Chains A and B, each alone.
Chain A
Amino acid sequence: MTELLVNGGRHEVHGSVLTTLAEVLRGHLGLTGTKVACGEGHCGACTVLLDGAPALACITLLEAVGEREVTTIEGLRDHPLVDAFVRADAVQCGFCTPGQIVSAAALVRETPAPTREQVRHAMAGNLCRCGTYPKIEEAISTWQG
């Protein structure tokens, strides 16, 4: 039994030593906004925040989360970035989008008005096969309205 702090709520979850955070979020807690697209830490679709820092839930073991607070896309649904992504059309199939928004939220918390180079650096780990990248840049540069 492990206690997990997710989006402001406490949860008792079961898992083996090999259980990943993504499995717990999606399977046990029903938080399916966190997508798994590669399952080995290469694509960024499963990005969540651990105490505000981006982490890949598919290669983060439940046991390694510890006391850190997990924030998933469900905890960021009212973040202005969500509207900015929709306004800018930074959503095509949408499978990578929650992970993109979580990464972007970590970026703008540290740097509210990032330069283009800062956006490209911070977002380079989130793959999008549909190619929404130009619109993601636009969304992140206009998120404050």
Chain B
Amino acid sequence: MARLIRTEKEVEGRYTEQWIVVEEDPLDRWPEGPLEVVGRPAARVDGLQRARGEARYTADLALPGMLHAAVLRSPHAHARVRRLDFAPALEAPGVRAAVGPGDCDVLVEEAGYQGAPVAALAADTFSEAQAALARVGVEWEVLEPLLDPDEAVSRGELIEEASRYERGDVERGLAEADVVVEAEYRTATVLHNALETHQAVCEWEGDELTVYISTQWIWGVRKDVAKRLGLPPDKVRVVCEYMGGGFGAKIDPGDHTYLAAELARRTGRPVRCALTRREENLASGNRHATVQRLRAGAKADGTLTALEGEFTMAVGWDGFVSSTAGPMKMLYGCENVRTVELGAKLTTGPNDAFRAPGFVEGTFGLERLLDELAAKLELDPLELRRRNGADADPVDGRPFSAKNLAECYRRAEPHWARRGEVRARSEGPWRRGVGLASQVWYGGGGPPSYAWVRVGSDGRATVLTAMQDIGTGTRTAMAQIAAEELGLPLERLSVSLGDSSRGPYAAISAGSSTTPSMGPAVRAAAADAARQIVEIAAQRFEVEERVLSLRGGRVVSEDGKSWALEDVTGLLEDGQILGKGSRGPNPAGMRVLTFGVQVAEVAVDVETGEVRVERIAAIHDVGRVVNPLGASSQVEGGIIQGIGHTLSEQRLLDPGSGRALTVTLDAYKLPTIADVPEIVTELLDVPDGHLTSLGSKGLGEPPIIPTAAAIANAIRDATGADVRSLPITREEMLRALREARERAYAL
């Protein structure tokens, strides 16, 4: 019977309450450790399609009669359109339609950042559309840019009201401290640069709109597009079969989707709107820069007595303020904490979620501060962290559903113990050292999410759910979970996803939530199908249901008899067995979080300021690991992105005009294969005993969180220099070395 319950839902730290319907009785939890399929390394079920170039991405879609849009974007950081004349552009070869402010509400008259969309047109080919853009008559009134976040705050230019948090008494905590450290840390604006740019193809059939889109959330796009266009949601179909990376910036439909929909409506033809790489680096979102003014007080034994932070985020023209104070509130059991988060409204491109938004930046500041504190206390940095562990959520006292950070620290010891040997390998100008940093993040997922499982008479099964695989390997994880429950080898499973008209509602692929949200629904659907198979077999072979189970593609009886699955399902000929499942609630009154620690080894050339990362050991606890092979890839990918924003990536603006200088991939420095250190991944792989029948949490974000701080702390270990600004350019490295030398002379 359906039970209606109220439960808490979390995405990237934003909690909401909602009603859900729970139909099934909870399933037994699987035992710990590798099972038949779950917990064992599996190559991706769609690996061949992707590797052979057969997978069709949104970028590869060519519909009959399809037109191509090009978008006129502001060349100025801040400007107003005085006059817009489409007439010459409409006469250009191939042009079919043009739209400006007033025609589509994503087009603006006041451009608040370079790249803000002002007008768009559709033509037979993309090059014709681009050529016609140059013929649009446009007159700009250039306005004053505002680029400095501190200046914006002092002028009161905030995106939203300041967010304040306080527990205990920070003044008392500081007064009781034996040691106080304070420092200012900065992180740069960094760009997602998924290799498939933001794009959509929109096609109208009558009053029904199909949106083919590179997205992290099929159902979110469906809901937003329907709402904005005034359509019933079931008139909007959203398709994303293969997706070329998102990292947080492809959650909303985006301006391009609304432009494609409007141009398609006007022309009666399908329209593609795809950002170029340069547009991608101006107008598709970014991780906002931060300025963090932090203070910590501690007793001589290392007990934290106070943590205080003022965080200013360079949000841009719009976008949300990422929770940069999160780690300071959540990571340590300090009684006295006060934070304020200020989101500066600037004439720069909008902030968007980027792999653990806020926590990457905030962990850099907090975990650097902890190492500066450890140095002053002459305490081992690992020991300092151990002494300040939180047994319950420090924010509201809730018990954790599971917390194994202490075990992560224990597993980090052998890596941490390499310090002496690593330092001893310093030679000439190259100084070597080891640093570590801890990680806290969400990642529990939540309801609602649904899946169906279809078993055919040939004994093969298909998982159907309208989720998306953005490259994380969730298609494979879902196949593994269903295979485990059905007792089938992985090769007898298919997964059909990526189309809102081909399966039920599914969760967002963000916030490290896909596997913990979808996995339990898929398992429940497979269990529903498995139950029906057992019931059919019991009747056909005249045995009791309770002695039957599904294993190795067979229905197995306790007395040793067994029948091939297809001998049972084959009875049905064209008939199918249909299972359905849904995601149940998260544990009431508990805090579901992920934890981990990374240990970095670096080499620093103290003459040139060159920094090389030589080794990173990553130890994370994300509950049960469904696919250890895919999981290690997630960890490596997170760390490599982390190395990028630690050492080389930053969006640079011309300080006078506010125009971006880093819009191409030769100017914006992504890590290459030559920048990758040795990476050692250790996942605890202990199911969270309170979280769903699966006990799995998400792994997309945790690995990127501590990387920058671990590297910067290793630099301190190697050289005694405190780097406080990301990326750690040679200038920053040499500045920190100079400061350390001056500090040494002064003593």
Contacts and interface: CB of A to CB of B under 8 A. Distances in A.
Interface of A: 18, 26-27, 31-40, 42-43, 45, 72-74, 77, 82-83, 85-87, 89, 91-98, 101, 119-121, 123-137
Nearest to A19: B127
B448 to A, nearest CB: 26
A1 to B, nearest CB: 19
Contacts of A95: 57, 59, 194-196, 244-245, 471
B195 A33 contact: no
13 contacts: A33-B52, A38-B664, A40-B665, A43-B277, A94-B49, A95-B59, A119-B673, A123-B672, A129-B192, A129-B194, A131-B641, A135-B636, A137-B676
B558 interface: no
Contact of A42 (B244, B276, B664): B664
A77 B608 CA distance: 45
Interface string B622-649: 0000000110110011111100000000
A96 B277 contact: no
B193 interface: yes
B65 to A, nearest CB: 15
- Interface SS of chain A: helix, strand, loop or mixed? loop
Given A37-B197, A95-B245, 17 more contacts: A26-B60, A37-B277, A77-B54, A85-B47, A92-B245, A93-B195, A94-B471, A95-B57, A95-B59, A95-B471, A124-B672, A129-B195, A129-B247, A131-B640, A133-B640, A137-B673, A137-B676
- Interface SS of chain B: helix, strand, loop or mixed? loop
Interface size class of B (residues with CB under 8 A): 35 or more
Contacts of B245: 92-93, 95, 129-130
Contacts of A120: 673-674
Contact of A130 (B53, B471, B632): B471
Contact of B633 (A73, A86, A132): A132
A86 B48 contact: yes
A136 B44 CA distance: 15
Task: Tell me which of A72, A83, A91, A136 has the highest count of chain B C-beta atoms within 10 A of its own C-beta.
Answer: A91
Interface of B: 43-44, 46-57, 59-60, 62, 127, 192-197, 242-245, 247, 276-277, 470-473, 629-630, 632-633, 636-641, 664-666, 670-674, 676, 679
A85 B663 CA distance: 30
B673 A40 contact: no
Contact of A73 (B53, B56, B57, B665): B53
Nearest to B246: A93
Nearest to B627: A89
Contact of A124 (B57, B127, B277, B673): B673
A126 B247 CA distance: 19
Given A38-B664, A93-B471, A33 B640 contact: no
